[in-house]
Amino acid sequence: MDDLQFRRHLYAAPNSQDPEFLAAKQADESRAQFAQEIEELDSKIASALKVPVPEDLCNKLILRQAMASHQQQKRKNRIHLALAASVAFAVGLTVNMLQFSSAYDNLGDYAMAHVYYEQDHFSNDMSADITLASLNSKMSTFDGNFTEMLGQLIAADYCRFDGIKSLHLVFQGESEPVNVFIVPERSEVAFAEAFSDKKLNGKSFKHGKNQVVIVGDKAEPLQQWKKNLSKNIQWST
């Protein structure tokens, strides 16, 4: 696992127990130290988001404001209470959005945004040294495996696909890299069988309990990729 793969894996799942990830961390003292810092930061963020809001907070704030409204000398207190209500509401709304909302309307929109975000990390002439065994080690997380390697695999690592742990594969394409996402099926984001913009085309299909999303440039034969992926991915459940 190279440094880029290690960092992407660490950012996506700081507490991952993936054997390859653990081996890469233990083999390099600087990686181990950096991983510890990220784990501590992840823990602090998780603690910061756990802001308890009393069920009757709103009623208490309203009552206090009403009682203080006729007292000129307590006007500052009323302002503070109003600010407290706004902060409590904002925190509650933020936590709710982080847990339950999706940033995009459908799989295609998110997949293309993900590809554009990471496009500078991959090129079609990068070395393709990911083995079938290494690929299937990661696929086992999703109860699946590839029966054979499909082309030259540049990268294979976990990612957060709109908040859900997924697998991101990058293959050499005809002219540009082809991105494949293995995404557990969910109801929050609408399924998109075909999607595109001025530069990219994409196809999705449901396979087992997961969704397979393929993104490539306009020249890439995505229908053939879809056919090959459908034939070579097997699920154990």
Residue 234: C-alpha distances to residues 1, 105, 155, 156 (Å) = 25, 28, 20, 17
Q: Looking at the structure, tell me whether residues 92 and 207 fall in a common domain.
A: no
Question: Average pLDDT of the chain?
Answer: 79
Q: Which residues of 25-59 are buried (b: 16+ CB within 10 A; e: fewer)?
A: beeeeebeeebeeeeeeeeeeeeeeeeeeeeeeee
Residues 21 and 78 in one domain: no
The pLDDT value recorded for residue 82 is 60
Residues 113 and 204 in one domain: yes
Q: Which domain holds residue 93?
A: 57-100
Can you give the pLDDT at residue 93? Answer: 43
Question: In terms of domains, do 180 and 152 share one?
Answer: yes
Domain boundary residue, one of 66, 100, 134: 100
Q: Are residues 68 and 174 in the same domain?
A: no
Q: What is the CATH number of the domain that holds 220?
A: 3.30.200.100
Q: Are residues 96 and 181 in the same domain?
A: no
Q: Say if residue 116 is in the same domain as residue 143.
A: yes
Query: Which position has the higher pLDDT, 29 or 172?
Result: 172
114 and 96 within one domain = no
Residues 39 and 76 grouped into a single domain: no
116 and 193 assigned to the same domain: yes
Structural domain count of the chain: 3
Q: What is the pLDDT of residue 54?
A: 65
Looking at the structure, do residues 179 and 216 belong to the same domain, yes or no? yes
Is the Cβ–Cβ distance between 144 and 182 less than 8 Å? yes
In tens, the pLDDT along 11-29 reads 677 777 777 777 777 877 7
pTM exceeding the 0.75 threshold for the entire prediction: no
Please tell me whether residues 157 and 76 are part of one structural domain.
no
Does pLDDT of 148 surpass 90? yes
